[in-house]
Amino acid sequence: MKQGDNKVKKYKKGYTQGVYDMFHIGHLNLLNHAKEYCDYLVVGVNSDALVESYKHKKPVIHENERKSIVENIKAVDEAVIVETLDKIEQLNNFGYDVIFIGDDWKGNARWEETKRQLGDRGVDLIFLPYTHGVSSTILRKEEGEKIGDS
Q: What integer pLDDT is reported at residue 122 of this predicted model? A: 97
Q: Do 30 and 115 contact (CB within 8 A), yes or no?
A: no
Which DSSP symbol is given to 103?
G
Q: What integer pLDDT is reported at residue 48 of this predicted model? A: 98
Per-residue model confidence as pLDDT tens digits over 34-83? 999 999 999 999 999 999 999 999 999 999 999 999 999 999 999 999 99
Overall average pLDDT of the 125-148 stretch:
65
Q: Where are the alpha helices (DSSP H) in 20-100?
A: 25-37, 48-55, 63-71, 87-94
pLDDT band at 140 (very low <50, low <70, confident <90, very high): low
Q: What integer pLDDT is reported at residue 114 of this predicted model? A: 95
Q: Whole-number mean pLDDT of the chain?
A: 87
Q: In what order do the strands lie in the sheet with 78-82?
A: 78-82, 38-46, 11-18, 98-102, 124-128
